[in-house]
Structure 1
Amino acid sequence: MTAASLAHAQTPTAAPQSVTADDSGNEIVVTGTRTAGRSKLDSASPVDVLSAATLRQQGTTELGAALAAVAPSIDFPRASAVDGTDAIRPATLRGLSPDETLVLINGVRGHTAALLNINGSVGRGAAAVDLNTIPTVALDTIEVLRDGASAQYGSDAISGVINLRLRQARSGGGAAVTYGLYDTDINTARGSRSVTGEHTLNASAWQGIGFGSDGYLTISGEYQRRLPTSRGDYDPRITPTAVDSRFGDPSVKQYTAWANAGTSITDSLKLYGWLGYQYRDSTSAAFPRLASATAIPATATTTAQTVAQLYPDYASGFLPYINTHSKDLNSAIGIKGDVSGWTVDGNVSYGRNRIDFSTLNTANYSLGAASPRNFYDGALVYDQLVGGVDVSRKFDVFQSLNVAFGAEGRREGFQIIAGEPGSYQVGPFAQGTFTAQPGAQGFGGFQPSNVITKHRENASIYLDLEAQITEKLLLGLAGRGEHYSDFGSTGTGKVSARYDFSPHFALRGTASTGFRAPSLQQQYFTSTASVIVNNNPVLTGTYPSTSTVGTALGGKPLEPEKSTNLSAGTVIRFGGLDLTVDAYRIHIRNQIGLSENISATFSPQVAALIAATGQQVSAARFFVNGIASTTKGIDAIAHYRLRTDKAGTFDFTVAGNVNKITVTKVPANTAANLNPAPVLFARSRILTIEDGTPGEKVTGTLDWTSGVLGATARVTYYGNVTQPGTTATVLVNGQALTNDLQTGKKAIADLELRYQPKTGVQLALGASNLFDIYPKQAPAYLNTTGVTAYPFYSPWGFNGRYLYVRAGINW
């Protein structure tokens, strides 16, 4: 059990729930099976049901972080100093890329964020769903299918599926306010300090409204205000030394509202739908720009004069801020019911995400002292329209045979909008003998040459059969065919089986193929941005693989990723104990990744090619197929419930994941005009895939309830994570030292105490990271600027102990 899996968050008795259960009390699932009434412990694939109430009973108010706290297969690194990814962070399942997990809302495909993660964090190169656009107050349960499911649900379901099931209530309601702050001691390589503050305020409410005989309207809302955290080291480049960075979480001001509704329109048909909107204003910090560390326009003296005129209060330089305004829409409408003995569900959904970027407290060096200090940098927009129909029926063949089939059509769009001219402008001090870097420092604006509007269409059909052959043998077979307007057709299949030797013991297994279509963002994104390489900003251009630059450097049209998934496991039930253990192997081929930053200094040919862009960039990169990897692991979870007459009810859960990823192939450069051809995928990218998420994660949880009182104690063990450097070692005073950052093996403890009657006033006190545990420090020789004091690959972050109080009322 030390190799366990997703921590099953059991449904607390104090929170109103609508989780459906079978006769033995196991939750009924709708993910991974299209047979009505199947429970999580009776399925052929491993499915975990997490109560949204349990996710709310912890310090974090972010869905991604809350899932990671109770689900060992899920990680949610808190990246910093990586531009827009600071604000829109992706989650990973089984250590795979964030875009290889499909996210559903009430069984309907969710839309990805417009953001493309192009910087050096976990999930580099991915455009993933932003889980934090859906607050936990709007949710009833979350189902996590830990199995390949492309044959059932289509693209992206390589590592699994997360299905977010919205709250459905005809009555009742509640409101809560959570206030928290950090109380932590920060020990960096160059000094120590303490912080008490950096507070977060979260207010949420929900209300169920009934109408007609069975109609419901559930309205949920949330407001969040989070101050930024700062965990950087002291900067040795300034005198006296001080912390001049803001390495940590961004500031956030966020409003979210959701409505979920349904009602019968005839005796056999039901109308349903939902609408959700979120506005998020987030501000993170780039690396500090020092007058002494820049050369703009031509001499250090002129640089100092320019900085002094723009920032008279900051003689040593300035700290740029990257501001994002994310507007996210989710909506759907559908009809379901019985038609001539068949269960039919037809729906149309639309989702849209727009992110506007600004760089504040900055300068365009090439404009000299005339430079503005704030710039609007442009926007990214992604939208998705999906229409589908699902049909199913159970037949009296064998013990039973469930036949399901359906079709889906999807239209996606991606758009880049240019920023104001000053955000990207090449000013007079970047011309002739002057070499000032153009564009807003920290985040350069999108240029007119970056502007695009692209669309594509997709159509798919599927057939899903699930037969109870005998009382003990369950067999499943699924197949799916898809056609994309940009790259053609693909097909996937899945076989599953389960044999119950007794009511207490069963074996189960699956074999499937999967795929992930290249996203529009990966195909068409283009920008010019300052990328931090070895603690120094390098102006880098990102180009489509089929552009003139991309093709010349070795780029080709992107193709879909393909996977082969195998799993085998066991289910054990005895009295109050249930135990599931599932082993898996996932082989991904033709995987897509973002290439290395190919520097103009690599060769005169590359320098000439980059210079021909006219954008004065120092390096270029693009997306490429050709990575192959094999992921092997074990998920397991053990749960035991003990009920006592006097001491209350105790729920014990030990859950964990052991995961090993091996990169078996990297893309070779085939650029015919370059000799030598630059390397497309190097050491740091390989090690990020292999070691960027913990190889072991085990969570032990004790939930206790007695009347109106309750408590949760949780300890999570994380295996070591590596944040790799560009080379294995670096020479320091003639000595070769490691160039990688390590988090170390750590155990994080969380505790919450609750007074929580079913109705009336409620109160909770808690601590996340109770013992103030940090990852290993970044050594001074690797942190020459003082900014990145800890590895931001850390799966539990690097903010330290967080204390909180939650007060609410249910009615």
Structure 2
Amino acid sequence: MRRNTIVLSLTVSTLALSTLALSAPAFAQTTIAPADQQADPSVPDAVGTEPGQEILVIGTRAQGRTVADSPVPIDVIGGEALVNAGYTETAKVLNQLVPSFNFPQPSITDGTDVVRPATLRGLSPDQTLVLVNGKRRHTSSLLNINGSVGRGSAAVDLNTIPSLAIERIDVLRDGAASQYGSDAIAGVINIQLKKREGGRAQATYGKYVTSLQDVSGVSGVQTGANGQPVLRASDGTFALNETGNDRKARDGETITYAANIGLPVGESGYLNFTGEYRGRDATNRAGYDPRRIYPRQTNGQVDPRELTFDRLNHRYGDAKTDDLNFFVNAGADLGASAELYMFGSFGKRDGESAAFYRRAAGVDTAFAGTIQDLRNCNYATGTCQPFYADGFLPLITSESTDYSAAVGIKGKFGGGINYDLSYVRGHNSFDFYIANSYNTSFGPNSSQGFDAGGTRFAQDVVNLDLQKQVEVGFLSSLSLAAGAEYRRENYKLVAGDVQSYAAGPFATTNNAPAGAQGFPGFRPANAVDRSRDSVAGYVEADADISDAFTVQAAGRYEHYSDFGDTVNGKLAARLAPIRGIAVRGSVSTGFRAPSLQQQYFSSFATNNVNGTLVEVGTFAVSDPVAVALGSQRLKAEKSLNLGGGVTLDPFRGFTLTADYYNIKIDDRIVVTENLQGAGVVAILRGAGINNITSARFFINGIDTRTQGVEVVGTYRVPDLGIGKISLTGGFNYNKTRITDRAVLPTLPTLTLFGRQESLRLERGQPRTKINLGADWSLGAIGVTARTNRYGKVLSPGSTAVNDVTLEPKWITDLEVRGEYRGIELAVGANNVFDEYPTRLPVLGTAATINNYFIPYSSFSPFGFNGRYLYARAGISF
């Protein structure tokens, strides 16, 4: 079967090539023009500065098609828009510029604090394909497994790409799996690297200067006449002396040094290099912890240390990170009709985030009865004495190393066939190290720091793309394209040191939890080394039936070694009945292959249940535990994308597009709930598995439908003698609902995808989003103003009473800059008016007691850090 599949795939490409040769043209991911006419497609000004006149480099392989002529919606974002902002993280800037792009910034979610996923059109982060120079970018090895938007996904880390290396970003907002393969269900983001000569060096410094809305400052604990702390009647926590003023924060200092330099190579070659260092301190938006920290004294009195303890004991906000990223983009002519090119990157990120604070051990008889916190017990004396006298905050430090290298040759065969043959390798590793921690089950013999293991992901891709313009008498133009792809992927999970995961001698004798506090390490049983490969062939036709009517069709066959075959197609058209007005539409099928991370990730924790050690955790789909409960080999997600809209460019400098989309996805891959109960235990015991009482795994669990509307407008105001003015606006309405749910044949009444996770998917991202922007420049002075409205978001609780609706918010950014002889100085503010998401309520119940020290939801689409002030100095040469 495998050999036949490869032969079939190559036959598709050969037949297409033969057709092209007979009619005399070809297919390429990158448009090639004759050497004397060639324009750099990464430079919008190569064709003109009017909106919509940028040459397309994604969405079609036809030569010379512009954004305005595209039958599908595409946004083009120039590199200057990425630089004129205080944030130097590419994903944060895209969140300001693209209406259907969402980038929440979660906290206390382990590795996801450091590699934060972004979404397009409200779909999963891994349902958007990311390209660099038209070539598939590898994903992170990190699987987002905790309670954030994008749970269960492994996505591309956009923040490894320095904004100064980017010439422009093209965002294709349409299903494109039939053109580019797996993951392109929501769309495609293509990042074009700079080729131009010259250079720029800049330094940016910023920090948060903010007051936490609805989080009062605190001067200490209230005490009564007897000197003992006063208890709140509602929940048994200490009453605090609130100042009545919002807590202030001055943190998150970020310094970014970046430089880009472009050099000529020969007569028409190029070498462009970018280096960037970004150091970001942690932010902390925690509130004050009113809970009892220390055990009561033997006389029943509260420990006097409660009165002096620093109750900002949690860290809730951005992780501390240090990034070092390098990009190179180069090419050289090999002759009149061939070019050798290469590009690559290297990145390293050190991160530090925090888990929940562990209090000093003791019996807590406050609200909700007697609670024994065993996580800080030192059993050296046989009793539960605190190992850390004042409690401790486990720190999850991480090290991510990322590299990619691409090499290719492109040019023109005889007969006018453009070709592009390339090889790309990408690799990411993510290692966890736990500091300021403790393995309680080892008691006094526990380490305080642990190597918790890590993950690895590698991707090798070989592409051949061919394209030809064909002369057909009854058509204005016809582009035919075909190609083939081979891809190999590898995923590894590496075990940590023994104490990071093991159950020590006190696990059984004292019911002590095992593993490093904050993040139990990966075990040898979790370790995997799995690979797969795929082959694909595609064909594409793009025809101008007339000057007013364009039709595009594409088809793709793909075979994966782990789940089999898939065939997908696309049809799109554009009709311009009168000048300045056009209608367009598309229909396509798509797919997303189950990632190796989803198939093989596992992590365990050991709990002591009535004196018996039991495993609770995430199991690989093929693990006997998951199989006993009814797991099956993962299938590819399948989509049906429908889209239609209108484009208007009635007068010079103005464009407006409005598009509707409807995306139906079957067999979406999700993580089950923690499956437990008598039925689960009975099945496990029947399969001979006696030490498991709770398990979860990945499953093709739900079908969904996502519908929405996107409106994007640009207007370059005519010269009125008051400077250059450019206005932009965007609107997105997006709604996702679950249309069907899977059941386990063995336990048909068991809930696989529960209330909280369902609401996270359906309502955990803004239903509406508005982007408005204005750029003004006069001589050496420039101003950029942007404001974004993020619609309602639901932060789901375990029950309806604990749900919180995050109300709509406007977030406004402003920058003023001046330039003199190549030297630029800029100052600005992101979130000028210091807006925060809706405060999480403290209702006096066990379910909301954490909201004292976690005041804002991680589902906030603009984060929860407040006002950010910055200054930037740059020099161009």
| CA–CA distance in structure 1, aligned partners of residues 411 and 853 of structure 2 | 57
Task: Name 2:665's counterpart in structure 1.
Answer: 588
Among candidates 654, 659, 669, match of residue 744 of structure 2: 669
1:715 maps onto 2:819 in alignment = no
* Closer/same/farther in 2, CA of residues 70 and 491 from structure 1, 3 Å limit: same
Alignment of 1:481-492 (within 5 A): 481-492=557-568
| CA–CA distance in structure 2, aligned partners of residues 773 and 303 of structure 1 | 49
Alignment of 1:694-713 (within 5 A): 694-713=766-785
Shift of 1:684: 1.1
Among candidates 152, 163, 184, match of residue 179 of structure 2: 152
Among candidates 839, 845, 849, match of residue 777 of structure 1: 839
What count of residue pairs does the alignment treat as equivalent?
770
Deviations 1:574-620 (A, max 9, x none): 22221001111000011110111224677643785899475xx7632
Among candidates 198, 202, 205, match of residue 179 of structure 1: 205
SS of 1:598's partner is: coil
* Closer/same/farther in 2, CA of residues 578 and 111 from structure 1, 3 Å limit: same
Shift of 1:553: 2.1
Deviations 1:368-424 (A, max 9, x none): 121111000111000000001000000111111100000000000000111010100
Point out where structure 2 has 5 or more consecutive residues left out of the alignment.
1-40, 218-245, 293-305, 365-370, 608-613
Task: Name 2:277's counterpart in structure 1.
Answer: 223
SS of 1:318's partner is: coil
SS of 2:757's partner is: helix
Task: Name 1:749's counterpart in structure 2.
Answer: 812
Task: Name 1:3's counterpart in structure 2.
Answer: none
CA contact 2:378–2:385 (8 Å) conserved in 1:
no
Task: Name 2:654's counterpart in structure 1.
Answer: 577
Task: Name 1:534's counterpart in structure 2.
Answer: none
CA contact 1:229–1:799 (8 Å) conserved in 2:
yes
| CA–CA distance in structure 1, aligned partners of residues 679 and 394 of structure 2 | 30
Report the residue type matching 1:422 in the other structure: Q
CA contact 1:668–1:680 (8 Å) conserved in 2:
yes
Task: Name 1:318's counterpart in structure 2.
Answer: 392
Shift of 1:310: 3.8
Deviations 1:163-205 (A, max 9, x none): 0111112x21111110001111113456531012331111100
Task: Name 2:462's counterpart in structure 1.
Answer: 387
SS of 1:137's partner is: helix
Alignment of 1:42-191 (within 5 A): 42-169=69-196, 171-188=197-214, 191=217
Report the residue type matching 2:151 in the other structure: R
Shift of 1:477: 0.8
Deviations 1:478-516 (A, max 9, x none): 000000000110000000000111221111100000000
Report the residue type matching 1:740 in the other structure: D
SS of 2:783's partner is: strand
What is the CA RMSD across the aligned residues, in angstroms? 2.3
Task: Name 1:329's counterpart in structure 2.
Answer: 403
* Closer/same/farther in 2, CA of residues 297 and 583 from structure 1, 3 Å limit: closer
Question: Which entry has the higher C-alpha Rg, 1 or 2?
Answer: 2
Report the residue type matching 1:174 in the other structure: R
Task: Name 2:221's counterpart in structure 1.
Answer: none
CA contact 1:516–1:562 (8 Å) conserved in 2:
yes
Report the residue type matching 2:810 in the other structure: A
| CA–CA distance in structure 1, aligned partners of residues 778 and 274 of structure 2 | 29
Deviations 1:785-807 (A, max 9, x none): 34421110111000000000001
| CA–CA distance in structure 1, aligned partners of residues 49 and 328 of structure 2 | 32
Alignment of 1:375-774 (within 5 A): 375-397=450-472, 398-431=475-508, 433-528=509-604, 540-575=616-651, 576-599=653-676, 604-605=681-682, 612=689, 614=691, 619-671=694-746, 674=747, 678-728=750-800, 738-757=801-820, 759-774=821-836
SS of 1:265's partner is: strand
SS of 1:756's partner is: strand
Task: Name 2:24's counterpart in structure 1.
Answer: none
Task: Name 1:339's counterpart in structure 2.
Answer: 413
| CA–CA distance in structure 1, aligned partners of residues 556 and 382 of structure 2 | 64
Task: Name 2:62's counterpart in structure 1.
Answer: 35
Moved more, 619-628 or 156-165: 619-628
* Closer/same/farther in 2, CA of residues 298 and 637 from structure 1, 3 Å limit: closer
1:804 maps onto 2:870 in alignment = yes
Report the residue type matching 1:124 in the other structure: R
SS of 2:841's partner is: coil
Q: TM-score, normalised by structure 2?
A: 0.85
Shift of 1:19: 2.2
Shift of 1:761: 1.1
CA contact 1:295–1:303 (8 Å) conserved in 2:
no
Alignment of 1:2-21 (within 5 A): 18-21=43-46
Report the residue type matching 2:740 in the other structure: K
| CA–CA distance in structure 2, aligned partners of residues 297 and 43 of structure 1 | 62
* Closer/same/farther in 2, CA of residues 307 and 355 from structure 1, 3 Å limit: farther
* Closer/same/farther in 2, CA of residues 436 and 573 from structure 1, 3 Å limit: same
| CA–CA distance in structure 1, aligned partners of residues 287 and 123 of structure 2 | 31
| CA–CA distance in structure 2, aligned partners of residues 741 and 303 of structure 1 | 44
| CA–CA distance in structure 2, aligned partners of residues 211 and 801 of structure 1 | 44
SS of 2:164's partner is: helix
Report the residue type matching 1:784 in the other structure: I
Task: Name 1:237's counterpart in structure 2.
Answer: 291
SS of 1:66's partner is: helix
CA contact 2:377–2:443 (8 Å) conserved in 1:
no
| CA–CA distance in structure 2, aligned partners of residues 287 and 709 of structure 1 | 47
Report the residue type matching 2:257 in the other structure: A
Shift of 1:528: 1.9
Q: Percent identity?
A: 43
| CA–CA distance in structure 2, aligned partners of residues 704 and 57 of structure 1 | 12
* Closer/same/farther in 2, CA of residues 298 and 362 from structure 1, 3 Å limit: closer
Task: Name 1:365's counterpart in structure 2.
Answer: 440
* Closer/same/farther in 2, CA of residues 646 and 613 from structure 1, 3 Å limit: farther
CA contact 1:188–1:778 (8 Å) conserved in 2:
no
SS of 1:653's partner is: strand
Q: TM-score, normalised by structure 1?
A: 0.92
SS of 2:335's partner is: coil
SS of 2:598's partner is: helix
* Closer/same/farther in 2, CA of residues 650 and 530 from structure 1, 3 Å limit: farther
CA contact 1:296–1:303 (8 Å) conserved in 2:
no
Shift of 1:266: 1.2
| CA–CA distance in structure 2, aligned partners of residues 581 and 796 of structure 1 | 24
Among candidates 337, 353, 371, match of residue 284 of structure 1: 353
Report the residue type matching 1:491 in the other structure: V
| CA–CA distance in structure 2, aligned partners of residues 611 and 86 of structure 1 | 38
Report the residue type matching 2:121 in the other structure: R
CA contact 2:206–2:870 (8 Å) conserved in 1:
yes
Shift of 1:318: 0.5
Deviations 1:325-356 (A, max 9, x none): 00000110000000111000000000000011
Report the residue type matching 1:98 in the other structure: P
| CA–CA distance in structure 2, aligned partners of residues 492 and 301 of structure 1 | 60
Moved more, 192-201 or 455-464: 192-201
* Closer/same/farther in 2, CA of residues 530 and 761 from structure 1, 3 Å limit: farther
Task: Name 2:9's counterpart in structure 1.
Answer: none
SS of 2:872's partner is: strand
SS of 1:276's partner is: strand
Deviations 1:24-55 (A, max 9, x none): 73211111011111111110110110012211
Point out where structure 1 has 5 or more consecutive residues left out of the alignment.
1-15, 532-537, 729-737
| CA–CA distance in structure 2, aligned partners of residues 303 and 695 of structure 1 | 55
Deviations 1:600-652 (A, max 9, x none): 677643785899475xx763210010311111111111211113343101111
